[in-house]
A and B are shown apart, each in its own frame.
Chain A
Amino acid sequence: MNNSMISAKVSMTAIQQRLDVISDNIANVNTAGYKSKQAAFEDVLTRVQQQPDKYKLDGRSTPMGYNLGFGARLTSVTKDMSQGTLNETGSPTDLAIEGNAMFAVEANGQKMWTRQGAFHFVPDPTPNPDPNAPQMMVLVNGEGYFALDRQGNRITAPNNSKVAFDEKGNLLIRRGNEANATIGAQLQLVDIERPEGLVQYADNLFGLDAGLTEDDVFGANAATRDAVATIRAGYLEQSNVDLTQEMALLMQGQRTYQLAARALTSSDSMAGLANTIRA
């Protein structure tokens, strides 16, 4: 294989990977709380072909050696953590975060974080066996994971009470015919200091990268102190995918793919010419 063929093949693979990232973003354009991904490219490690010293002639302006490249490759896929648009839903337990923060949830026994704020109350799956105790309902998000409060416990409220959230995440409970609401637990909202320390999992969940602690990614004592970001009740945050941008990148990727395929065909024809010197 000659250099052009290798270069074109490597680059076509890289462009294909970029198209995968773009299609992932476009498919999630309606997913609440989705953060778009971006791909970055670099040119592949080049080889400097050494030239003997007697090649050094007057009028040469660069150091000795001829530079050969082998195409472009995908180096990193990063998350764009900018704010998505807020969509009013009217449900008092639908929460949208304004700012760079996340809710803490319990997923399969582990603590994880999410932006998805479509919370609702469900009957407590582990009811109190005492028949005189009031029946409780527990807060889960749209995927079914339990929301956590500032102490790390699940958030509960008595059945058939009216609930609302204020902008700090405090749960306001009004039972029956009481005039005033009481403040229940406070939703654990943590500011993100190092978004690159989060790893994305399925179901819109984020976990900590290996070797990092909560203090590294969210700042010291983020679980217990008030966050800078605020909560809007009755709204849901949509995905931050910019469809126009994704389509422009898609077209760009397509055209570069075509050019790389043209280069591959051209180098293949050249190899054919070398083969038919003596037909």
Chain B
Amino acid sequence: MLRGLYTATAGMITQQRRHDTATQNIVNANTTGYKQVNSVSRSFPEMLITLVGGDANVPTKRLGKLNTGVFAEESLSMNLQGAIMESGQKSDFAISSNLSVNDPQTGQPVAFDGSGKFVRADGTVIYQPQAYFTVRDAEGNTRYTRDGHFQVTGAGELLSTTGAQILDNNGQPVVLTGSVDQFKVDEQGRLVDAVTGAPTGVTLGISVIDQPNQLVRQGDGNFSLYDQEGATARMMAAGDNVQIRQGYLEGSNVDASQATVDMNAAYRAYEANQKVVQFYDRSLDKAVNDVGRV
């Protein structure tokens, strides 16, 4: 078979993935706390091409290297801060975070770019740590989410919008003891008395993940942490530049126009690959049906 046929097919599959990712971003433009997903493509490892047969006197038969395809390698979450919108509900929360970390080589704070990463001169990448609410889902797993639209049940439990329990900084579910009108949380996430402002001793569990690129999306707004690369989660500490705002919600960070353009670009690239497959098909048609016709 012609090598290029499979290359073009791989291209079509990759563009389909890019289109799917752009669609997912567009339809989640209104979801609270949603982080945009970017699709990263990568070409197949190169193959060395050599000449078979031909002139025996030719000293070298190597032609060169060729990539034989492309695949959608990873879906990268973009952890930009979403817009903070006022909702007025006492059970709505938004995290506004801009954590700084010191570069271990220079000891200076790292200057992260707009998308939350910094590339050193030698090519290694440092990602900006991000803060998340800690929740426990129905199976008892610890998950992280940015969606702060919580609800208080009849029994006083604080639950996320999908029914997961919100945990405090000791890993226990947060349970309200008084009326919802008395529920007040300060900027550090501590539950305070509504009248006196004195801390009640319960603090919302805000986890800081140092390598947010190691988080895996579980759906329902939740992320889970796989620590194979040594990524850790710690509770928010006093000096962190993280604010918890009660009565506000963090919107989705999807740029709808960018996502639409990505979708169109994926569609046209899919079309271009489809044309290549069509031309290969016609060449094969000639080879099979027309050559050697009597």
Which residues in A have some Cβ–Cβ distance to B below 8 Å? 2-4, 7-8, 10-11, 15, 38, 40-46, 48, 55, 57, 60-63, 65-72, 75-76, 78, 80, 82, 100, 191-197, 209, 211-212, 216-217, 219, 252-253, 255-256, 259-260, 262-263, 266-267, 269-270, 273-274, 277-278
Contacts and interface: CB of A to CB of B under 8 A. Distances in A.
Contacts, number: 190
Contact of A2 (B16, B34, B147): B16
Interface stretch (B60-68, B70-78, B128-136): B70-78
B154 A72 contact: no
Contacts of A253: 30
Contacts of B23: 3-4, 7-8, 71, 260, 263, 266-267
A209 B149 CA distance: 21
- Most B CB atoms within 10 A — which of A15, A212, A270? A270
A43 B214 contact: no
Contact of B147 (A42, A45, A267): A42
B84 interface: no
B267 A270 contact: yes
Given A194-B153, A194-B156, A60 B20 contact: no
Contact of B27 (A48, A78, A217, A260): A260
Contact of B180 (A15, A76, A193): A193
The 7 closest A-B pairs by CB, nearest first: A197-B154, A11-B27, A45-B219, A69-B24, A193-B179, A3-B20, A67-B75
B80 interface: no
Interface in B194-226: 213-214, 216-221, 226
Given A2-B16, A43-B34, A212 B154 contact: yes
B260 A262 contact: yes
Contacts of A15: 30
B281 A277 contact: yes
A193 to B, nearest CB: 4
Contacts of A76: 151, 161-162
B26 interface: yes
Contacts of B226: 63
A196 to B, nearest CB: 5
A211 B22 CA distance: 44
Given A62-B75, A67-B216, A253-B30, A263 B263 contact: yes
A42 B19 CA distance: 20
B271 interface: yes
Contact of B271 (A72, A80, A273): A273
A267 B19 contact: yes
Interface string B6-43: 00000010001101101110111111101001000010
A278 B281 contact: yes
B19 A4 contact: yes
